Amino acid sequence: MFVSRKNPLAAVARNPWVALAVLWLVFELPMAFVPDGFSPGAMRPTGEVLALLTAYALSLRMRFGRPVRWLLAVFVVALLVVRLDRTLFFGITRSEPLLYDQMFMVRHFLVLLGDLWSFSFALAFLGVTAGLVALGFLARALMRRTAPLFEGGRFRRTAQIGAVAWVIVLVATIVPSTGDRPWVRWMTPEIARNLSESRRLYQSVQQSLTRSPYAAYDGLHLRRKPDVFVFFIESYGKVMAEQPDMRPIWVDELQGMEGRLSNSGWNMVSGYSTAPVSGSRSWLAVGSIWTGTTLKYEAVYRQFTLGMDHTPTLVKFFQNQGYDAMHLAPSDRPRPGVTEENTYGYDQYIGFEKLDYRGPKMGWGIVPDQYALGYTEEHFLSSARHPLFFNFHMVSSHATWATIPEYVKDWHTLNGTGHAVVDTLKENGAKERLERYSHFVTRYPYMGKLTATLREAYERSVFYDFRVIEDFLSRRDDNTLVVVMGDHQPPVVSPEMANFDVPVHVFARDRKLLEEFEKRGFSNGLVLGTDQPAVVQHAGLFSVFVRALAECCGDSGAVPPYLPLGVALGS
């Protein structure tokens, strides 16, 4: 007689306890994705899984158990969304998401999808979507496979094992593992604390909008009003000073720049400032400086925006002192999900459509910084009213560094012939919009790895902006205060999650304009040390700017207090 031998692996696969273990593992899997790759050690059991299984088992013995199971399914989906959101957000920004904030970030996420859209990206997006759907079907199949554990005579045995599991989970919740973290993670208390923090932030922002120490700055009067120029080099972070394979060339570039500008009469000091964000969300980094309040979350920023008419800002300070405020933002242009917003009320707002750029698209920002500054200098700065406050958020060093402009002798030559870029974007829509990202998506499929190719491209983009700024300063012989700084650490290459520092370089021909920065710990020259700590927070720079001008140029001798952390929300 023929005797069949059972496949032991198939028998294991049919085991409902194995199905239960795999189901739990699928739920924990997102926590293994960390900024620098895949780390199974980052996973810890989640207590809610046992609670949900217990509730599911009890619902099977209830008369009206089906509605309960539907509610459990909704709760499971909510937990999964929170977990996936945390994994994605933390991987990109190196910071924990605030649930209240994430509602506001949905729009930016959709805009990002539009900016990244290309054929390759569409395939990747569809692949990820299909994978999530497949995981959903897998979880459903595994849940059905566990059904025998909760039926008939096996229920008592399952209940006994469940009771033991509860004891283990509760003990493991109390007993800490390495790093003082418990062995078992509970998401519900974390979500409750997150929501409580969201509510606290909302209330504190409302209080901060109604009373602010910066309002007293309106009483200052400057007898001398030097022009003030602020250049934000996109993604210029401390990583350049810390990475052993990046620091030498960074030092060489800065020393050369320092020597040439010193010979032409410029004095300079430098220090690190701690940004509230890392990897992205430049508007929060800049907003923290302009409002003098640490803006870590989009929700808080939006609240400030709604109350901007009544919120003291650095831009308004200069305007109240008689300055003309001008902002150059080459990449700002209307597109799906984005409108061109003059949030801070600049007198002149120079976006993409005012630059008449008809050359090839250069990276995320489209317009090369050399062209943007050259065109602005010729068409706007030459006729600007003084004193002038000028802010240029540079774009050529924005990720993904797939296309880096070459510095040319005459910026006019960058404006090629043919269709204007704005027309190309409108004509071709999503297919053409930022197709430069397709190379990045295929070559750098996850954040956190610093390849030699990517490092070199990032360095070149920052050094290109150094050259643009140096060339601009070499043509100015007036009394000007110039600040050159990064907005935040770059995505992909940030080596430390906790390090949000960026270099700040301050230039002036009049040494007295630099005295306040020196008091705050800024050191002479441009080169900064690897282990040198931050001397200021982004939010503290508001008071530093005002104090620097009040000390050198005020007519009353009154200098407002230094606020190293800016103004705390709710204070």
Neighbours of 300 (CB within 10 A): 28
SS3 544: helix
- Compute the distance between CA of residue 490 and CA of residue 503 in angstroms, rounded to an integer: 12
Contacts of 53 (CB under 8 A, 6+ apart): 20, 162
Q: Which residue is associated with the tokens 């070149």? A: 460
Tokens 């935040």 correspond to what residue? 488
User: Global pTM?
Assistant: 0.68
Determine the length of the chain. 571
* pLDDT at site 540: 95
Q: What is the dihedral of CA 45, 46, 51, 54, to 10 degrees?
A: -40
For domain 211-553, give the CATH number: 3.40.720.10
Q: How far apart are CA 209 and CA 109, in angstroms?
A: 27
What pLDDT, on the 0 to 100 scale, is given for residue 22?
A: 77
Which one, of 28, 191, 182, 25, lies nearest residue 100 by Cα?
Answer: 191
Question: What residues contact residue 316 under an 8 Å CB cut-off, 6+ apart?
Answer: 344, 345
At which residue do the structure tokens 């400032």 appear? 273
DSSP 523: E
Query: CA 57 → CA 155, 211, 312, distances in Å?
Result: 9, 54, 57
Q: What is the pLDDT of residue 447?
A: 38
For 476-486, letters b (16+ CB in 10 Å) and e give beeebbbbbbb
- Residue 566 dihedral angles phi and psi, to the nearest 5°: 70, -150
58 dihedral zone (left: phi>0; alpha: psi -120 to 50; beta)? alpha
Nearest to 395 by CA among 359, 360, 370: 370
The reported pLDDT for the residue numbered 110 is 59
Please tell me the predicted confidence (pLDDT) of residue 99: 66
Q: Does an H or E element contain 137, and which?
A: helix 119-145
Domain boundaries, the chain: 8-200, 211-553
Candidates 366, 378, 570; CA nearest to 472 is 378
Residues 6+ apart with CB under 8 A from 450: 243, 492, 493, 495
Q: How far apart are the first and last CA of the chain?
A: 87
- Predicted local confidence at residue 439, as pLDDT: 34
Residues of the chain with pLDDT under 70: 1-14, 32-39, 41, 88-122, 124-125, 128, 132, 177-180, 201-211, 307, 334-340, 417-451, 492-498, 556, 569-571
Task: Supply the pLDDT for residue 117.
Answer: 57
